[in-house]
Amino acid sequence: MTGARGEAGADRPTLRRCTHLAPDVFAERVWGRECSLSTREQLRTGFDDLLDLDTVDHLISRQGLRTPFLRVARDGQTFSASRFTRSGGVGATIADQVDDAALARLFADGATIVLQGLHRTHPPLIDFAQALTRDLGHPVQVNAYVTPAQARGFGDHYDVHDVFVLQVAGQKRWIVHEPVLRHPTRDQPWGDRRAAVEAAARTDPVLDVVLRPGDALYLPAGFVHAAQALGETSAHLTVGVHVWSRTHLLAGLLHALEDVEALRVPLPLGIDVTDPGAVGLELQETIDSLRAALQEDAHVGPVVRRLRRLAEDASRAEPVGPVALARALSVVDLGTRLRWRRSLAADVEVSGGEIVVATAETTLTLPTSVERGLRRLLAGDVLSVSELASGDDDAMDDAARLDVARTLLRSAVVTTE
């Protein structure tokens, strides 16, 4: 198995945009444990290149957004989509396109606009999210929260994923309290612990800070928080980090153990599953069978394959432009420089005199003479078409090299540099 998800390296440059701490310090002292504030004076760059208020207006009024790419809330209440959507008009047979005029009225009345899934719709944030995913090893999503002066969109709550808050415009006061549940999973939302959250919000905060443009705040999952805009329109990006945890490993392990016959045997006929004694005996036998299976079999491979599928579903590879791809195919020559698509993982197997390359999107076969060049592409190197086969493989003629290059381009696993 070969992962070709990027070349972030130890420096983790995109993570460094979100925290002033060195990556190793952040990993050891903060990640998943504590809140961390980074001021604009401590960070390398601001966030103006990712989003600004003019871009917010453009996305809302001219990009034809539909639900669920937008939410609207005020004082903890989320509005029905019917209050800010309407028909797309002639030529657009949809009924849930954003009604920019209705949205403008709601915003003027104090409602917060939430632009969701910007890691799929806004090019600067597509690139940013993919780069941060490579740095963290965990998939991310990006939403934007745009709040009128002195307003609050959501009350005290906690998130079931870690977040980086990146302030892009205006100022917002954040009040953060200790978790009522550390490391909550997706099926442990704050609404199930509403009373505990309300009680936590009445305690002394662990953090009470005003974020200015260029400031960043990291909050692990579970920390109770609320935020309020101050004297002008406030906008921030919430980068949600959907962390891989040991529960994912356990789920993968249980899936792998479905092949163990002793664990699939039916419980005894007539068992009373409400009887602790009867269930206890069967549970002990199950634990014994599980222990034996774990000692005898190697389960890393199946677990990794399951996580690989989950990872492929959680993130998408670098975008591909159909017109640009067709143009590249029409002009490719021996000097054309190719690189592997960022964030596109691949399995590579050599079998029967050919190479089989499998990604989440496609499977293709290549001659073994390009194995060395292929692995260099997967490792992040940029190669000319003439370099696809070299050294011991230089018996491959130019026409064959061009055929391989066209196959790679047509399959959208590489792009031109």
pTM: 0.88
16-55: per-residue pLDDT in tens?
999 999 999 999 999 999 999 999 999 989 999 999 999 9
- Tell me: pLDDT of 363 over 80: yes
Torsion angle of the four alpha carbons 302, 308, 309, 310, in this order, in degrees rounded to the nearest 10 = 110
* pLDDT at 7 (0 to 100): 44
pLDDT bucket at 305, cuts 50 / 70 / 90? confident
The DSSP code sequence of 404-417 is HHHHHHHTTSEEE-
Confidence (pLDDT) at 4? 45
Q: What is the mean pLDDT of residues 336-357?
A: 92
Supply the pLDDT for residue 6: 41
Statement: residue 201 has pLDDT above 90: yes
Q: Domains of the chain, with CATH numbers?
A: 13-241 (2.60.120.650), 246-306 (no CATH), 322-416 (3.90.930.40)
Q: Higher-confidence residue: 302 or 215?
A: 215
pLDDT surpasses 90 at 324: yes
pLDDT at 295 over 80: no
What's the pLDDT tens digit per position in 124-176? Answer: 999 999 999 999 999 999 999 999 998 888 999 999 999 999 999 999 999 99
CA–CA separation, 190 vs 28, rounded Å?
27
Higher pLDDT, residue 258 or 29: 29
- Rounded to 5 degrees, what are φ and ψ at 78? -90, 130
Q: Which of 64-68, 237-241, 327-331 has the lowest mean pLDDT?
A: 64-68
- Residue 240 pLDDT more than 80? yes
Cβ-based neighbours of 245, under 8 Å, separated by 6 or more: 183, 185
Residue 384 has pLDDT above 60, yes or no: yes
pLDDT band at residue 243 using 50, 70 and 90 as cut-offs: very high
- Say if residue 290's pLDDT is above 50: yes
Contact 243, 314 (CB under 8 A): no
390, pLDDT greater than 70: no
279 and 58 Cβ atoms separated by less than 8 Å: no
67, 96 in Cβ contact below 8 A? yes
- Considering the chain, what percentage of its residues have pLDDT values greater than 90? 76
Q: What is the mean pLDDT of residues 387-406?
A: 82
Q: How far is CA 81 from the centre of its chain?
A: 25
Contacts of residue 14, defined as CB under 8 A and 6 or more positions apart, other chains included, come to 8, 128, 131, 132, 134, 135
The helix (H) or strand (E) run that includes residue 73 is: strand 70-74
> What is the chain's mean pLDDT, rounded?
91
DSSP assignment letter at 254: H
The reported pLDDT for the residue numbered 417 is 87
In this prediction, residue 8 carries a pLDDT of 45
Q: What percent of the chain has pLDDT over 70?
A: 95
Confidence grade of residue 5 (pLDDT, cut at 50, 70, 90): very low
Asked if the model's pLDDT at residue 3 lies above 80, the reply is: no
Q: Read out DSSP for 192-237?
A: GGHHHHHHHHTSPPSEEEEE-TT-EEEE-TT-EEEEEE-SS-EEEE
3-state SS string for 321-361: CHHHHHHHHHHCCCCCEEEECCCCCEEEEEECCEEEEECCC
